């Protein structure tokens, strides 16, 4: 069954309207109850974040909803290996590799984390159906037996937060609706702690720093996300861990969770994340650059949505980043071999 994807931008007249009312006015074929269920299941994003039906929209909010027709079916399940660090009946914590999108897009329909999770959550049912479909009675014209395995619709990944495609690291996903609702509320209330490791261009002088600069989206200019005076408030805490001749290893804490926030804020202070092809300097040579964006979500801490237990999960640097860091620690060539970065776009 094909998904039905809808995207809207709230106008000034929509400001203050409940999210479910905003959607009901535009999706007349769906009942308010159906819309509320879609929102509760995480099928609706506001400015890239999961939300709740009672949220009041603001002018300029970007609302996307996956209005699938019937009871939720998982998006194309794919048997993609996952690096699982914790799993129980409520949640799943994985370490996403660099290069993997979290959600499918209009141009990328497979190979995403959502595809991998859809398989992981329904693996037994899918494999049973594959075996049954290969049986002679099915090949001879019997009805495909997939719906006979398990009860109800396939389980849908409850993705609550995201990482950029180029960023690696920790993500927590809900396996059932109640946990999804609890974790989404904790994210909104900033009760979940996230830490990132990044290797920045140049030497950062202050040991700690709070970066505050609003971030917004500009449709007709790249990069789309940038510092904007009328953007959403954004804050990042920076802590220096190690300094080298031409680079600095830092820990980053996103106080808010805007798209590309860490990369934008680091570039804003003149120390872009190494190998950032969007916000960083244009290098004449990549000989002294890391093989990919040096940004990794290394720590995630939160209250378990069912037990309330405080959980702290860490993920070491991927081998390709650790290898590059070891090289920097031993030999520190001039990492600023290219042109100076242009001033970060503002509007």
Please answer whether residues 129 and 149 qualify as being in contact, where contact means their C-beta atoms are separated by less than 8 angstroms: yes
Q: What is the β-pairing status of strands 168-174 and 193-201?
A: unpaired
- Which residue blocks in 96-157 are alpha helix, DSSP H? 113-121, 123-133, 136-139
Helix, coil or strand: residue 161: coil
The single residue of 164, 201, 207, 334 carrying the catalytic annotation is: 164
Please answer whether residues 130 and 119 qualify as being in contact, where contact means their C-beta atoms are separated by less than 8 angstroms: no
**DSSP designation for 48:** T
End-to-end CA distance of the chain: 42
Rounded CA-CA distance 111/75 in Å is 11
Residues whose CB is less than 8 angstroms from the CB of residue 327 and which lie 6 or more positions away in sequence, other chains included: none
| Residue 308 in tokens | 């309330």
| Residue 201 in tokens | 């261009």
Q: What is the β-pairing status of strands 235-243 and 91-96?
A: unpaired
> Can 276 be counted among the known catalytic residues?
no
- Please tell me the number of Cα atoms within 13 Å of 287 on its side-chain side: 7
Catalytic positions are 164
């Amino acid at each position: 069954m094909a998904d039905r994807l809808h995207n809207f931008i709230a106008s000034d007249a929509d400001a203050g309207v409940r999210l479910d009312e905003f959607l009901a006015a535009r999706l007349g074929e769906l009942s308010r109850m159906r819309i509320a269920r879609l929102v509760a299941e995480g099928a609706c994003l506001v400015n890239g974040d999961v939300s709740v039906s009672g949220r009041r929209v603001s002018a300029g909010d970007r609302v996307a909803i996956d209005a699938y027709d019937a009871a939720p079916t998982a998006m194309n399940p794919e048997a993609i290996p996952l690096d699982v660090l914790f799993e129980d009946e409520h949640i799943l914590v994985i370490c996403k590799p660099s290069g993997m999108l979290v959600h499918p897009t209009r141009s990328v329909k497979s190979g995403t984390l959502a595809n991998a999770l859809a398989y992981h959550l329904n693996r037994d049912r899918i494999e049973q159906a594959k075996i049954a479909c290969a049986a002679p009675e099915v090949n001879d014209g019997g009805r495909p037996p997939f719906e006979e395995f398990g009860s109800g619709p396939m389980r849908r990944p409850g993705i609550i937060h995201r990482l950029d495609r180029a960023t690696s690291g920790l993500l927590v996903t809900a396996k059932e609706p109640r946990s999804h609702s609890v974790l989404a509320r904790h994210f909104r209330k900033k009760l979940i702690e996230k830490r990132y490791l990044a290797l920045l261009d140049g030497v950062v002088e202050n040991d700690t720093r709070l970066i505050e600069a609003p971030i917004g989206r500009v449709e007709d200019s790249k990069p789309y996300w940038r510092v904007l005076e009328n953007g959403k408030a954004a804050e990042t805490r920076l802590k220096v861990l190690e300094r080298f001749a031409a680079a600095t290893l830092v820990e980053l804490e996103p106080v808010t969770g805007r798209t590309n926030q860490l990369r934008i804020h680091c570039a804003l202070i003149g120390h872009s994340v190494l190998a950032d092809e969007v916000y960083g300097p244009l290098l004449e040579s990549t000989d002294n650059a890391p093989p990919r964006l040096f940004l990794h979500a290394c720590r995630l801490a939160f209250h378990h949505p069912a037990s309330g237990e405080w959980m702290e999960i860490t993920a070491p640097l991927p081998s390709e980043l650790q290898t590059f860091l070891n090289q920097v620690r031993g030999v520190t060539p001039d990492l600023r071999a290219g042109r100076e970065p242009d001033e970060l776009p503002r509007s």
